Amino acid sequence: MTETTNKPTIVIIISGRGSNMVSILDAINVGELAVTVAAVISNRADAAGIQLAQQANIPTTVIDHEAFASRELFDQAMLKEIDKYSPHLVVLAGFMRILTKEFVDHFAGKLINIHPSLLPKFKGLNTHQRAIDAGEKEHGASVHIVTPELDDGTVVLQAHVAVLKNDTVEALAARVLEQEHKLYPAAIKKLIEEPKE
């Protein structure tokens, strides 16, 4: 029996730089998280995270959404690719596409996302700017179960970050991202160790 045989598997889905993906790989490497990353899938060939995954010897696949005539067809191709690995969790880490209900329902309960706000506050984009504009004293990030409604679904874990006087979007985003990198591995660990019945 190999070391990885009995570990739960995850598939990570990205669109960009992949820093949250790297934080998950780092947590695995230092023994904080006992999962196997079966694959990293990106909808963009130029996602920096794809190269980082390859450097870490993780199987990678690019499924270019622009090659499909519709969102439904793209999601069906993604679904088929992910199903090859029968993962315990499908981990969206900076995946910048809206998913169809068909896709979300197929992975119901095992599809998770990280969002840079204290949900249910600030669903959608530009969360840091909106938190500053709203005069929030606290901001942060959430890992949540994905449901067909955007940035909805049960929150698994949140990280809180103070909004400082005269904060800039860049500074606040950097402090939130630092917390995201601890939050996502912790949330995956929680879900793996306390599976929902």
Give the total of residues touching ligand GRF (CB under 6 A).
Answer: 15
Between 35 and 141, CB nearer to ligand GRF: 141
Annotated catalytic, 128?
Answer: no
Distance between CA 136 and CA 129 in Å, rounded?
10
Helix, strand and coil in the chain, % to nearest 5: 35, 20, 40
**In the 3-class helix/strand/coil scheme, how is 3-43 assigned residue by residue?**
CCCCCCEEEEEECCCCHHHHHHHHHHHCCCCCCEEEEEEEC
**Binder to ligand GRF among 11, 16, 52, 187 (CB under 6 A)?**
16
Residue 19 sits in the site that holds ligand GRF (CB under 6 A): yes
From the list 65, 88, 106, 115, the catalytic residue is 115
Instruction: State yes or no: cis peptide before 120, omega within 30 of 0.
Output: yes
Between 83 and 133, CB nearer to ligand GRF: 133
- Counting every residue written for the chain, the total comes to 197
Residue 94 sits in the site that holds ligand GRF (CB under 6 A): yes
Closest C-alpha among 165, 191, 28, 21 to residue 107: 191
**Binder to ligand GRF among 10, 12, 20, 118 (CB under 6 A)?**
20
Q: Look up residue 31 and give its amino acid.
A: G
Pick the piece of the chain touching ligand GRF (CB under 6 A) from 3-11, 62-70, 112-120, 144-152: 112-120
Please tell me whether residue 177 adopts helix, strand or coil conformation. helix
Interacting residues with ligand GRF between 50 and 89 (CB under 6 A): none
Active site residues: 115
Q: Binding residues for ligand GRF, per CB under 6 A?
A: 14, 16-20, 49, 93-94, 114-116, 141, 177, 180
